[in-house]
Amino acid sequence: MAATPLEYVRVHRDRFLEELKALLRIPSISTLPEHKDDMEQAAQWLADHIRSIGISDVQVMPTAGHPIVYAEWLGAGPDAPTVLIYGHYDVQPVDPVEEWHTPPFEPTIRGDTLYARGASDDKGQLFVHLKAIEAYLHTQGRLPLNIKVLLEGEEECGSPNLAPFIQKHAQRLQADVALISDTHILEPDQPSIVYSLRGLSYIELTVQGPAHDLHSGMYGGAVDNPLHVLARLIAALHDATGRCGCARFLRRCAPAERRGTC
């Protein structure tokens, strides 16, 4: 009998892997409509599994797209902190399938490595937390903190229904810290923690010259060409060294000048 959570996870390693393989066998590809039932099945599998590890408060919550699996264990009480664990149970398509050495939805262990679609992104990584929760609940009957689990089925298609879900359930999702395992570490034996992510802006630009395409024999040399202008505009966005834009813009970003101001 395992007395501590750590002993428990060491004793049950093989079973954890068998369970993870069962989850990986469900082809929950969120972007392909023919896998809609598989999405439901994966959500249901996770809800059942979460119940089996000792959390009874689990729901498969519908969204305008694929469902969200939500669970909470608040037995540590209002004075204990709460962590919100996020993961996603949907996976990417498997094309080109002929390049797989073993079928993507038949999880296979070769050497020290488990091969399957979703093995690390993100079924395998979200499963880590479910097993840690199980280790506490099965050895001590409780966790040292409150846990909320939010498992999404649309991460690989841009999470279109996550923002409205979070907005709607903001009160319920309150926690001290969110915890996500969906990134990588530097080396197998050198762990790392990502503490900053870049954001994204996106523009589609249209340069309009004449009202319609023109014949260069009739108008060439007398009207400006939108392709030439666009090339000049784009060339103005960087200098030759790789700095963005004009001098003024560079001055503003010099670290020595900005230090201490933010």
Partner 1 sequence: MPGFYDDVLPLSEEERAELARIPYGEAELRADTGVPRAWGEPGFTVVERIGGRPSLDVNGLWGGFTGEGAKTVIPARAYAKISMRLVPNQDPDQVAQATLAYLQHIAPPTVTVQGRIFHGTPPAIVPRDHPAMRAAADAYERVWGRRPIFTREGGSIPVVALFTTQLNMPTVLMGFGLRDDNLHAPNEKFYLPNFHRGVETAVHFFHLLPAALKAHA
Name the residues annotated as catalytic. 90, 155
Q: Of Zn ion, partner 1, none, which one sits near residue 48, judging by CB under 5 to 8 A according to partner kind?
A: none
Please choose which of partner 1, Zn ion, none residue 188 contacts, taking the beta carbon within 5 to 8 angstroms, the exact cut-off set by kind: partner 1
Can you tell me whether residue 11 is helix, strand or coil? helix
Under rule CB under 5 A, which residues in 38-97 are in contact with Zn ion?
none
Distance CA 31, CA 46 (A): 19
Q: How far is the CB of 69 from partner 1 (least distance, A)?
A: 15
Residue 168, contacted partner among partner 1, Zn ion, none, CB below 5-8 A by kind: none
Closest CA to 162 of 246, 68, 38, 78: 68
State which residue, 38 or 152, has the beta carbon closest to Zn ion.
Answer: 152
Least Cβ distance, residue 152 to Zn ion (angstroms): 10
Structure-token pair, residue 255:
């670290």
Among 40, 75, 181, 182, the residue binding Zn ion under the rule CB under 5 A is 182
Binds 164: which of partner 1, Zn ion, none (CB < 5-8 Å by kind): none
26 contact choice in partner 1, Zn ion, none (CB below 5 to 8 Å, kind-dependent): none
Complex with Zn ion: residue 82 or 123, whichever CB lies closer: 123
Backbone angles phi, psi at 174, to 5 degrees: -50, 135
For Zn ion, the binding residues in 115-144 under the rule CB under 5 A are 121-122
Contacts of 126 by beta carbon, 8 Å cutoff, 6+ apart: 85, 87, 88, 89, 151, 181, 182
Residues, the chain: 262
Q: Of 62 and 226, which has the nearer Cβ to partner 1?
A: 226
How far is CA 40 from each of CA 37, 53, 95, rounded to the nearest angstrom?
A: 5, 20, 22
Query: Is residue 152 within the footprint of Zn ion (CB under 5 A)?
Result: no
In angstroms, give the least distance from the CB of 34 to partner 1. Answer: 19
Taking the complex as a whole, the smallest distance from the CB of residue 70 to partner 1 amounts, in Å, to 14
Among the listed ranges 26-34, 50-58, 181-189, 233-241, the one in contact with Zn ion (CB under 5 A) is: 181-189
Q: Tokens for 71?
A: 């669970």
> Please, is 188 exposed, middle or buried when counting C-beta atoms within 10 Å of its C-beta (0-12, 13-18, 19+)?
exposed
φ/ψ (deg, to 5) at 63: -130, -175
Is cis: bond before 122, omega within 30 of 0?
Answer: yes
- Choose the stretch contacting Zn ion; rule: CB under 5 A; options: 33-41, 97-105, 163-171, 180-188: 180-188
* Closest separation in Å from C-beta 158 to partner 1: 8
Phi–psi pair at 16, nearest 5 degrees: -55, -45
Which residue ranges make up the site for Zn ion (CB under 5 A)? 121-122, 182
